[in-house]
Amino acid sequence: MSQIELRPGLADVPVAESAVSYIDGKNARLEYRGIAVETLATESCFEETSYLLLKGDLPTQKQLADFDDQLRHHRRIKFRLVDLLKSLPETGHPMYALQAAVAAMGMFYPARDVTNAQSNWESVIRLIAKLPTVVAAFHRIRHGDEPIKPRDDLDHAGNFFWMLFEKEPSPAVRKVIDACLILHAEHTMNASTFSGRVTGSTLANPYTVISAAIGTLTGPLHGGANEEVLDMLGEIQTIGNVRAWCDDAITNKKKIMGFGHRVYKVKDPRATVLQTLAECVFADAGRPASYDLAVEMEKVLAEKLGSKGICPNVDFYSGIVYKALGIPMDLFTPIFAIARVAGWLSHWLEQLQNNRIYRPEQVYVGKTSAVYVPLAKRP
Ligand code: SDX
Protein backbone atom coordinates (compact mmCIF):
# COMPACT_ATOMS: atom_id res chain seq x y z
CA MET A 1 0.00 0.00 0.00
CA SER A 2 1.07 3.50 -0.74
CA GLN A 3 2.51 5.58 2.10
CA ILE A 4 1.81 8.93 0.43
CA GLU A 5 -0.01 11.43 2.63
CA LEU A 6 -3.34 12.45 1.11
CA ARG A 7 -4.35 16.12 1.40
CA PRO A 8 -8.07 16.25 0.49
CA GLY A 9 -8.77 19.18 -1.80
CA LEU A 10 -4.98 19.67 -2.13
CA ALA A 11 -5.22 21.98 0.90
CA ASP A 12 -1.90 23.82 1.39
CA VAL A 13 -0.24 21.81 -1.40
CA PRO A 14 1.55 24.13 -3.86
CA VAL A 15 0.98 23.05 -7.46
CA ALA A 16 2.90 25.76 -9.31
CA GLU A 17 5.12 28.78 -8.85
CA SER A 18 3.09 31.81 -9.85
CA ALA A 19 3.71 35.55 -10.04
CA VAL A 20 0.19 36.51 -11.13
CA SER A 21 -1.54 37.29 -7.84
CA TYR A 22 -1.08 37.03 -4.09
CA ILE A 23 -3.44 36.55 -1.14
CA ASP A 24 -2.79 37.20 2.54
CA GLY A 25 -5.82 35.40 3.93
CA LYS A 26 -5.35 36.60 7.50
CA ASN A 27 -5.11 40.26 6.59
CA ALA A 28 -7.72 40.44 3.82
CA ARG A 29 -5.09 41.35 1.25
CA LEU A 30 -5.35 40.53 -2.47
CA GLU A 31 -2.83 41.82 -4.98
CA TYR A 32 -2.63 41.43 -8.75
CA ARG A 33 1.03 41.55 -9.80
CA GLY A 34 1.74 43.31 -6.49
CA ILE A 35 -1.00 45.96 -6.72
CA ALA A 36 -3.86 45.94 -4.18
CA VAL A 37 -7.17 44.95 -5.73
CA GLU A 38 -8.95 47.81 -3.97
CA THR A 39 -6.65 50.28 -5.78
CA LEU A 40 -7.29 48.61 -9.12
CA ALA A 41 -11.06 48.56 -8.54
CA THR A 42 -11.10 52.32 -8.01
CA GLU A 43 -8.22 53.57 -10.20
CA SER A 44 -7.97 51.10 -13.09
CA CYS A 45 -10.29 49.65 -15.72
CA PHE A 46 -10.83 46.01 -16.71
CA GLU A 47 -8.77 46.38 -19.90
CA GLU A 48 -5.77 47.79 -18.03
CA THR A 49 -6.10 45.21 -15.23
CA SER A 50 -6.20 42.41 -17.81
CA TYR A 51 -3.03 43.73 -19.44
CA LEU A 52 -1.35 43.92 -16.03
CA LEU A 53 -2.29 40.32 -15.25
CA LEU A 54 -1.24 39.00 -18.64
CA LYS A 55 2.01 40.90 -19.06
CA GLY A 56 3.13 41.44 -15.47
CA ASP A 57 3.37 45.24 -15.54
CA LEU A 58 1.04 48.17 -16.03
CA PRO A 59 0.89 49.20 -19.71
CA THR A 60 2.22 52.47 -21.07
CA GLN A 61 -0.46 54.74 -22.55
CA LYS A 62 0.35 53.43 -26.04
CA GLN A 63 0.38 49.78 -24.96
CA LEU A 64 -3.02 50.18 -23.33
CA ALA A 65 -4.46 51.98 -26.36
CA ASP A 66 -3.20 49.17 -28.66
CA PHE A 67 -4.50 46.42 -26.38
CA ASP A 68 -7.87 48.14 -26.10
CA ASP A 69 -8.03 48.54 -29.91
CA GLN A 70 -7.31 44.85 -30.40
CA LEU A 71 -10.04 43.88 -27.94
CA ARG A 72 -12.59 46.17 -29.60
CA HIS A 73 -11.63 44.80 -33.02
CA HIS A 74 -12.23 41.17 -31.99
CA ARG A 75 -15.60 41.46 -30.26
CA ARG A 76 -17.67 40.07 -33.12
CA ILE A 77 -18.43 36.35 -33.26
CA LYS A 78 -18.82 34.19 -36.38
CA PHE A 79 -22.39 33.73 -37.59
CA ARG A 80 -21.94 29.97 -37.27
CA LEU A 81 -21.19 30.44 -33.59
CA VAL A 82 -24.45 32.38 -33.32
CA ASP A 83 -26.16 29.46 -35.12
CA LEU A 84 -24.65 27.11 -32.57
CA LEU A 85 -26.07 29.24 -29.73
CA LYS A 86 -29.46 29.24 -31.51
CA SER A 87 -29.43 25.44 -31.58
CA LEU A 88 -29.04 25.14 -27.80
CA PRO A 89 -32.11 24.78 -25.55
CA GLU A 90 -33.25 28.20 -24.33
CA THR A 91 -33.88 26.71 -20.88
CA GLY A 92 -30.24 25.61 -20.55
CA HIS A 93 -27.94 27.46 -18.18
CA PRO A 94 -25.91 30.23 -19.90
CA MET A 95 -22.71 28.81 -18.35
CA TYR A 96 -23.21 25.62 -20.35
CA ALA A 97 -23.82 27.65 -23.51
CA LEU A 98 -20.66 29.65 -22.80
CA GLN A 99 -18.60 26.52 -22.21
CA ALA A 100 -19.90 24.91 -25.43
CA ALA A 101 -19.31 28.06 -27.49
CA VAL A 102 -15.76 28.54 -26.19
CA ALA A 103 -14.91 24.88 -26.87
CA ALA A 104 -16.33 25.33 -30.39
CA MET A 105 -14.15 28.42 -30.97
CA GLY A 106 -11.20 26.04 -31.04
CA MET A 107 -12.62 24.76 -34.33
CA PHE A 108 -12.86 28.25 -35.86
CA TYR A 109 -9.42 29.57 -34.99
CA PRO A 110 -6.07 27.87 -35.54
CA ALA A 111 -4.47 27.65 -32.11
CA ARG A 112 -3.10 24.14 -31.79
CA ASP A 113 0.54 25.20 -31.85
CA VAL A 114 0.92 26.57 -28.34
CA THR A 115 4.66 27.13 -28.90
CA ASN A 116 3.73 30.03 -31.20
CA ALA A 117 3.71 33.19 -29.04
CA GLN A 118 1.93 35.29 -31.68
CA SER A 119 -0.86 32.75 -32.09
CA ASN A 120 -1.20 32.46 -28.30
CA TRP A 121 -1.56 36.23 -27.97
CA GLU A 122 -4.22 36.27 -30.71
CA SER A 123 -6.14 33.61 -28.75
CA VAL A 124 -5.84 35.69 -25.58
CA ILE A 125 -7.31 38.73 -27.34
CA ARG A 126 -10.11 36.73 -28.98
CA LEU A 127 -11.13 35.03 -25.76
CA ILE A 128 -11.24 38.19 -23.63
CA ALA A 129 -12.97 40.13 -26.41
CA LYS A 130 -15.58 37.54 -27.39
CA LEU A 131 -16.79 36.11 -24.07
CA PRO A 132 -19.15 39.06 -23.36
CA THR A 133 -20.54 38.80 -26.92
CA VAL A 134 -21.28 35.08 -26.47
CA VAL A 135 -22.98 35.59 -23.10
CA ALA A 136 -25.10 38.51 -24.34
CA ALA A 137 -25.96 36.73 -27.62
CA PHE A 138 -27.19 33.59 -25.83
CA HIS A 139 -29.22 35.73 -23.47
CA ARG A 140 -30.94 37.51 -26.37
CA ILE A 141 -31.47 34.35 -28.40
CA ARG A 142 -33.11 32.46 -25.53
CA HIS A 143 -35.70 35.23 -25.29
CA GLY A 144 -36.42 35.04 -29.01
CA ASP A 145 -34.46 38.21 -29.86
CA GLU A 146 -31.62 38.69 -32.31
CA PRO A 147 -28.20 39.29 -30.73
CA ILE A 148 -27.17 42.94 -30.51
CA LYS A 149 -23.95 43.72 -32.35
CA PRO A 150 -21.02 44.93 -30.25
CA ARG A 151 -20.19 48.63 -30.43
CA ASP A 152 -16.56 49.65 -30.96
CA ASP A 153 -17.10 53.06 -29.38
CA LEU A 154 -17.86 51.60 -25.95
CA ASP A 155 -15.41 50.13 -23.47
CA HIS A 156 -15.52 46.47 -22.38
CA ALA A 157 -17.99 46.99 -19.50
CA GLY A 158 -20.18 49.49 -21.36
CA ASN A 159 -20.34 47.35 -24.49
CA PHE A 160 -21.39 44.27 -22.50
CA PHE A 161 -24.25 46.21 -20.93
CA TRP A 162 -25.21 47.52 -24.37
CA MET A 163 -25.29 44.03 -25.91
CA LEU A 164 -27.51 42.77 -23.06
CA PHE A 165 -30.04 45.60 -22.90
CA GLU A 166 -29.56 47.71 -26.09
CA LYS A 167 -29.07 50.63 -23.72
CA GLU A 168 -25.93 52.45 -22.69
CA PRO A 169 -25.25 52.27 -18.96
CA SER A 170 -25.01 55.50 -16.97
CA PRO A 171 -21.39 56.39 -16.10
CA ALA A 172 -22.03 55.22 -12.52
CA VAL A 173 -23.42 51.84 -13.61
CA ARG A 174 -20.60 51.41 -16.14
CA LYS A 175 -18.07 52.01 -13.38
CA VAL A 176 -19.75 49.49 -11.10
CA ILE A 177 -19.70 46.77 -13.80
CA ASP A 178 -16.09 47.60 -14.62
CA ALA A 179 -15.10 47.37 -10.94
CA CYS A 180 -16.94 44.02 -10.61
CA LEU A 181 -14.96 42.69 -13.59
CA ILE A 182 -11.70 43.87 -11.99
CA LEU A 183 -12.59 42.25 -8.65
CA HIS A 184 -13.32 38.89 -10.31
CA ALA A 185 -10.43 38.90 -12.78
CA GLU A 186 -7.97 36.77 -10.82
CA HIS A 187 -7.59 34.85 -7.58
CA THR A 188 -4.45 32.68 -7.27
CA MET A 189 -4.81 28.89 -7.50
CA ASN A 190 -8.59 28.53 -7.25
CA ALA A 191 -10.36 25.45 -8.67
CA SER A 192 -11.12 26.81 -12.15
CA THR A 193 -7.64 28.27 -12.57
CA PHE A 194 -6.09 24.98 -11.52
CA SER A 195 -8.41 23.15 -13.92
CA GLY A 196 -7.26 25.46 -16.73
CA ARG A 197 -3.62 24.95 -15.80
CA VAL A 198 -4.05 21.16 -15.76
CA THR A 199 -5.64 21.23 -19.21
CA GLY A 200 -3.00 23.69 -20.43
CA SER A 201 -0.25 21.41 -19.16
CA THR A 202 -1.24 18.81 -21.80
CA LEU A 203 -0.55 21.52 -24.45
CA ALA A 204 -4.25 21.56 -25.35
CA ASN A 205 -5.41 24.56 -27.36
CA PRO A 206 -6.41 27.68 -25.36
CA TYR A 207 -10.12 27.41 -26.20
CA THR A 208 -10.16 23.95 -24.64
CA VAL A 209 -8.22 25.30 -21.65
CA ILE A 210 -10.76 28.07 -21.08
CA SER A 211 -13.77 25.82 -21.65
CA ALA A 212 -12.39 23.45 -18.97
CA ALA A 213 -12.01 26.38 -16.57
CA ILE A 214 -15.54 27.61 -17.36
CA GLY A 215 -16.92 24.14 -16.61
CA THR A 216 -15.15 24.12 -13.25
CA LEU A 217 -16.47 27.57 -12.37
CA THR A 218 -20.11 26.45 -12.76
CA GLY A 219 -20.28 24.51 -9.47
CA PRO A 220 -22.07 25.94 -6.41
CA LEU A 221 -18.95 25.55 -4.26
CA HIS A 222 -17.13 27.89 -6.68
CA GLY A 223 -18.54 30.54 -9.06
CA GLY A 224 -22.08 29.14 -8.94
CA ALA A 225 -22.46 30.33 -5.34
CA ASN A 226 -23.40 33.90 -6.34
CA GLU A 227 -26.73 32.69 -7.75
CA GLU A 228 -27.40 30.48 -4.75
CA VAL A 229 -26.92 33.42 -2.36
CA LEU A 230 -30.00 35.10 -3.82
CA ASP A 231 -32.01 31.86 -3.58
CA MET A 232 -30.96 31.63 0.06
CA LEU A 233 -31.96 35.24 0.79
CA GLY A 234 -35.25 34.58 -1.01
CA GLU A 235 -35.86 31.61 1.29
CA ILE A 236 -35.11 33.65 4.43
CA GLN A 237 -37.51 36.40 3.28
CA THR A 238 -37.49 38.73 6.30
CA ILE A 239 -34.95 40.17 8.72
CA GLY A 240 -36.91 38.57 11.56
CA ASN A 241 -36.16 35.11 10.11
CA VAL A 242 -32.39 35.58 9.78
CA ARG A 243 -31.31 34.39 13.22
CA ALA A 244 -33.53 31.28 13.23
CA TRP A 245 -32.48 30.42 9.66
CA CYS A 246 -28.78 30.71 10.57
CA ASP A 247 -29.23 28.63 13.74
CA ASP A 248 -30.99 25.93 11.74
CA ALA A 249 -28.30 25.96 9.03
CA ILE A 250 -25.51 25.65 11.62
CA THR A 251 -27.29 22.89 13.60
CA ASN A 252 -27.97 20.91 10.44
CA LYS A 253 -24.48 21.57 9.03
CA LYS A 254 -25.89 23.25 5.90
CA LYS A 255 -23.43 25.11 3.72
CA ILE A 256 -24.19 28.82 3.87
CA MET A 257 -23.69 30.18 0.38
CA GLY A 258 -21.34 33.15 0.01
CA PHE A 259 -19.57 32.28 3.28
CA GLY A 260 -16.28 30.55 3.94
CA HIS A 261 -13.09 30.35 1.94
CA ARG A 262 -10.09 28.05 1.78
CA VAL A 263 -7.64 30.95 2.06
CA TYR A 264 -9.46 33.88 3.71
CA LYS A 265 -10.09 33.53 7.41
CA VAL A 266 -11.45 37.07 7.57
CA LYS A 267 -13.91 38.89 5.30
CA ASP A 268 -12.83 38.61 1.66
CA PRO A 269 -11.53 42.08 0.61
CA ARG A 270 -13.54 41.79 -2.61
CA ALA A 271 -16.74 41.41 -0.57
CA THR A 272 -15.88 44.65 1.23
CA VAL A 273 -15.40 46.52 -2.06
CA LEU A 274 -18.55 44.96 -3.52
CA GLN A 275 -20.52 46.12 -0.50
CA THR A 276 -19.35 49.70 -1.08
CA LEU A 277 -20.30 49.37 -4.76
CA ALA A 278 -23.70 47.99 -3.77
CA GLU A 279 -24.32 51.07 -1.66
CA CYS A 280 -23.42 53.31 -4.64
CA VAL A 281 -25.88 51.43 -6.86
CA PHE A 282 -28.60 51.66 -4.22
CA ALA A 283 -28.13 55.40 -3.87
CA ASP A 284 -29.63 55.57 -7.40
CA ALA A 285 -31.70 52.43 -7.74
CA GLY A 286 -33.06 52.18 -4.18
CA ARG A 287 -32.05 49.75 -1.48
CA PRO A 288 -33.43 46.23 -2.05
CA ALA A 289 -34.71 44.19 0.90
CA SER A 290 -32.18 41.47 0.00
CA TYR A 291 -29.31 43.82 0.88
CA ASP A 292 -30.67 44.51 4.37
CA LEU A 293 -31.11 40.76 4.84
CA ALA A 294 -27.52 40.14 3.74
CA VAL A 295 -26.15 42.76 6.13
CA GLU A 296 -28.14 41.24 9.00
CA MET A 297 -26.94 37.78 8.05
CA GLU A 298 -23.34 38.92 8.03
CA LYS A 299 -23.83 40.36 11.54
CA VAL A 300 -25.49 37.23 12.94
CA LEU A 301 -22.96 34.87 11.36
CA ALA A 302 -20.03 36.98 12.59
CA GLU A 303 -21.20 36.13 16.13
CA LYS A 304 -21.74 32.46 15.36
CA LEU A 305 -19.05 31.54 12.82
CA GLY A 306 -16.60 34.45 12.83
CA SER A 307 -14.31 32.75 15.36
CA LYS A 308 -14.05 29.75 12.97
CA GLY A 309 -12.90 32.07 10.19
CA ILE A 310 -16.11 31.61 8.18
CA CYS A 311 -16.82 35.06 6.76
CA PRO A 312 -18.43 36.53 3.62
CA ASN A 313 -16.61 35.73 0.37
CA VAL A 314 -16.76 37.47 -3.03
CA ASP A 315 -20.03 35.75 -3.95
CA PHE A 316 -21.99 37.10 -0.99
CA TYR A 317 -22.64 40.63 -2.28
CA SER A 318 -21.95 40.31 -6.03
CA GLY A 319 -25.39 38.88 -6.91
CA ILE A 320 -27.12 41.63 -4.96
CA VAL A 321 -25.23 44.24 -7.01
CA TYR A 322 -26.01 42.52 -10.32
CA LYS A 323 -29.69 42.08 -9.46
CA ALA A 324 -29.96 45.78 -8.63
CA LEU A 325 -28.57 46.52 -12.11
CA GLY A 326 -31.36 44.42 -13.66
CA ILE A 327 -29.10 41.51 -14.60
CA PRO A 328 -30.83 38.09 -14.55
CA MET A 329 -29.59 35.69 -11.88
CA ASP A 330 -28.28 33.02 -14.22
CA LEU A 331 -25.93 35.55 -15.81
CA PHE A 332 -24.06 36.17 -12.53
CA THR A 333 -21.64 33.27 -13.01
CA PRO A 334 -21.12 34.01 -16.74
CA ILE A 335 -20.10 37.55 -15.69
CA PHE A 336 -17.61 35.96 -13.27
CA ALA A 337 -16.23 34.02 -16.28
CA ILE A 338 -16.08 37.14 -18.50
CA ALA A 339 -13.81 38.64 -15.84
CA ARG A 340 -11.84 35.57 -14.76
CA VAL A 341 -10.83 34.72 -18.33
CA ALA A 342 -8.08 37.33 -17.89
CA GLY A 343 -6.70 35.45 -14.88
CA TRP A 344 -7.12 32.01 -16.49
CA LEU A 345 -5.19 33.16 -19.57
CA SER A 346 -2.44 34.75 -17.47
CA HIS A 347 -1.99 31.41 -15.69
CA TRP A 348 -2.10 29.52 -18.99
CA LEU A 349 0.72 31.68 -20.42
CA GLU A 350 2.68 31.26 -17.18
CA GLN A 351 2.15 27.49 -17.24
CA LEU A 352 3.49 27.28 -20.79
CA GLN A 353 6.68 29.13 -19.86
CA ASN A 354 7.87 26.24 -17.74
CA ASN A 355 5.50 23.43 -18.54
CA ARG A 356 5.37 19.94 -17.17
CA ILE A 357 2.22 17.87 -17.55
CA TYR A 358 0.25 17.55 -14.31
CA ARG A 359 0.26 13.94 -13.28
CA PRO A 360 -0.23 13.64 -9.53
CA GLU A 361 -0.34 10.47 -7.44
CA GLN A 362 -3.27 8.73 -5.78
CA VAL A 363 -3.61 6.73 -2.59
CA TYR A 364 -4.89 3.42 -3.90
CA VAL A 365 -7.50 1.84 -1.61
CA GLY A 366 -8.95 -0.78 -3.99
CA LYS A 367 -8.39 -4.51 -4.41
CA THR A 368 -5.20 -6.00 -5.85
CA SER A 369 -4.55 -9.23 -7.77
CA ALA A 370 -8.29 -9.94 -7.97
CA VAL A 371 -9.41 -13.07 -9.81
CA TYR A 372 -11.29 -12.71 -13.10
CA VAL A 373 -14.31 -15.05 -13.06
CA PRO A 374 -15.57 -15.69 -16.61
CA LEU A 375 -19.09 -14.33 -17.20
CA ALA A 376 -20.52 -17.80 -17.82
CA LYS A 377 -19.43 -18.88 -14.35
CA ARG A 378 -20.99 -15.87 -12.63
CA PRO A 379 -24.60 -15.96 -11.38
C1 SDX B 1 -15.28 31.21 -4.89
O2 SDX B 1 -10.71 29.51 -4.08
C3 SDX B 1 -11.05 30.60 -4.63
O4 SDX B 1 -10.20 31.49 -4.76
C5 SDX B 1 -12.48 30.71 -5.11
C6 SDX B 1 -12.97 32.15 -5.37
C7 SDX B 1 -12.28 32.76 -6.59
O8 SDX B 1 -12.24 33.98 -6.70
O9 SDX B 1 -11.85 32.00 -7.47
O10 SDX B 1 -12.76 32.98 -4.24
C11 SDX B 1 -14.48 32.16 -5.73
O12 SDX B 1 -15.44 30.10 -5.31
C13 SDX B 1 -15.85 31.66 -3.56
C14 SDX B 1 -16.51 30.50 -2.76
C15 SDX B 1 -17.97 30.33 -3.16
N16 SDX B 1 -18.59 29.19 -2.48
C17 SDX B 1 -19.46 29.31 -1.48
O18 SDX B 1 -19.77 30.40 -1.00
C19 SDX B 1 -20.06 28.03 -1.00
C20 SDX B 1 -20.08 27.96 0.51
N21 SDX B 1 -18.74 27.86 1.03
C22 SDX B 1 -18.13 26.64 1.13
O23 SDX B 1 -18.73 25.44 0.87
C24 SDX B 1 -16.67 26.57 1.53
O25 SDX B 1 -16.40 27.54 2.49
C26 SDX B 1 -15.68 26.67 0.36
C27 SDX B 1 -16.03 25.68 -0.75
C28 SDX B 1 -15.65 28.06 -0.19
C29 SDX B 1 -14.27 26.31 0.92
O30 SDX B 1 -14.23 24.96 1.24
P31 SDX B 1 -13.07 24.29 2.10
O32 SDX B 1 -11.88 25.16 2.15
O33 SDX B 1 -12.90 22.90 1.59
O34 SDX B 1 -13.67 24.26 3.55
P35 SDX B 1 -14.59 23.15 4.17
O36 SDX B 1 -15.82 22.97 3.33
O37 SDX B 1 -13.77 21.92 4.44
O38 SDX B 1 -15.02 23.82 5.52
C39 SDX B 1 -14.17 23.82 6.69
C40 SDX B 1 -15.10 23.96 7.87
C41 SDX B 1 -16.15 22.85 7.92
O42 SDX B 1 -16.51 22.69 9.28
P43 SDX B 1 -15.91 21.46 10.14
O44 SDX B 1 -16.34 20.20 9.40
O45 SDX B 1 -14.44 21.66 10.17
O46 SDX B 1 -16.60 21.61 11.48
O47 SDX B 1 -15.84 25.16 7.81
C48 SDX B 1 -17.24 24.89 7.65
C49 SDX B 1 -17.30 23.44 7.17
O50 SDX B 1 -18.50 22.85 7.48
N51 SDX B 1 -17.72 25.78 6.60
C52 SDX B 1 -18.98 26.20 6.49
C53 SDX B 1 -19.00 27.01 5.35
N54 SDX B 1 -17.77 27.06 4.81
C55 SDX B 1 -17.00 26.31 5.59
N56 SDX B 1 -20.05 25.97 7.23
C57 SDX B 1 -21.20 26.54 6.80
N58 SDX B 1 -21.28 27.35 5.71
C59 SDX B 1 -20.20 27.59 4.98
N60 SDX B 1 -20.28 28.35 3.90
**64 and 188: one domain?**
yes
Looking at the structure, tell me whether residues 313 and 340 fall in a common domain.
Answer: no
277, 299: one domain:
yes
Q: Is residue 292 part of a domain?
A: yes
Share of the chain above pLDDT 90, in %: 95
Question: Residue 371: inside a domain, yes or no?
Answer: no
Please tell me which residue in 184, 261, 268, 347 is annotated as part of the active site. 261
214 and 313 assigned to the same domain: no
Q: What are 301-325's pLDDT values in tens digits?
A: 999 999 999 999 999 999 999 999 9
**Residue 370 domain-assigned (yes or no):** no
Statement: residue 286 has pLDDT above 90: no
Q: Which of 262, 320, 341, 347 to mutate to test the pocket of ligand 1 (most atoms within 8 A of CB)?
A: 262
Residue from 104, 96, 43, 55 nearest 79 by CA: 104
Lowest mean pLDDT among 29-33, 46-50, 169-173: 169-173
Strand, helix or coil at 304?
helix
Residues 310, 201 share a domain: no
When the pLDDT of each residue in the chain is averaged and rounded to a whole number, the result is 96
Provide the CATH number for the domain around residue 309: 1.10.230.10
pLDDT at 281: 86
- Local confidence band at 161 (pLDDT 50, 70, 90 cut-offs): very high
Residues 194 and 305 in one domain: no
Asked if 142 and 192 sit in the same domain, the reply is: yes
Last residue of a domain, one of 308, 324, 340: 324
- CB neighbours (10 Å) of residue 353? 6
| C-alpha distance from residue 236 to each of 233, 248, 252, 285, 297 (Å) | 5, 11, 16, 23, 10
Give the mean model confidence (pLDDT) for residues 212-219. Answer: 98
Q: How confident is the model at residue 3 (pLDDT cuts 50, 70, 90)?
A: low
Identify whether residues 238 and 141 lie together within a single domain. Answer: no
Residue 29 has pLDDT above 70, yes or no: yes
Which of the listed residues 303, 324, 345 is the one where a domain comes to its end? 324
Comparing C-alpha atoms, which of 218, 221, 228 is closest to residue 340? 218
Same domain (yes/no): 76, 127: yes
- Say how many Å lie between the CA of residue 236 and the centre of ligand 1: 20
Catalytic status, residue 261: yes
In a domain, 62, yes or no: yes
Mark whether 222 is an active-site residue: no
- Looking at the structure, do residues 66 and 94 belong to the same domain, yes or no? yes
Which run of H or of E encompasses 32? strand 29-32
Taking the centre of ligand 1 as the mean of its atom positions, its distance from the CA of residue 338, in whole angstroms, is 23
Q: How many separate domains does the chain show?
A: 2
Residue nearest to atom 33 of ligand 1 (CA): 262
Q: How far does the centroid of ligand 1 lie from the alpha carbon of residue 83, in Å? A: 38
The answer as to whether 4 is a domain residue is: no
Three state DSSP letters for 141-195: HHCCCCCCCCCCCCCHHHHHHHHHHCCCCCHHHHHHHHHHHHHCCCCCCCHHHHH
Do 164 and 44 lie in a common domain? yes
CB-based burial label for 277 (10 Å; 0-12, 13-18, 19+):
buried
Is residue 377 one of the residues assigned to a domain? no
Nearest CA to ligand 1 atom 31: 262
Q: To test the ligand 1 pocket, which listed residue (183, 261, 262) has its Cβ within 8 A of the most ligand atoms? A: 261
Phi (first) and psi of residue 74, to 5 degrees: -110, 20
The ligand 1 site (C-beta within 6 Å) comprises 9, 187, 190, 221-223, 225, 255-262, 310, 313-315
How far, in Å, from the CA of 75 to the mean position of ligand 1? 35
Residue 10 Cα to ligand 1 middle (Å) = 14
- The closest-lying atom of ligand 1 relative to the alpha carbon of residue 259 is 60
Burial of 266 (0-12, 13-18, 19+ CB in 10 A): middle
- Residue 212 maps to which CATH number? 1.10.580.10
208 lies in a domain?
yes
Answer whether residue 3 is part of any domain. Answer: no
Q: Which domain holds residue 247?
A: 225-324
Pocket mutation for ligand 1, best pick of 18, 197, 252, 259 (most atoms within 8 Å of C-beta): 259
Shared domain for 320 and 336, answered yes or no, is: no
* 123-132, 229-238, 279-288: the lowest-pLDDT one: 279-288
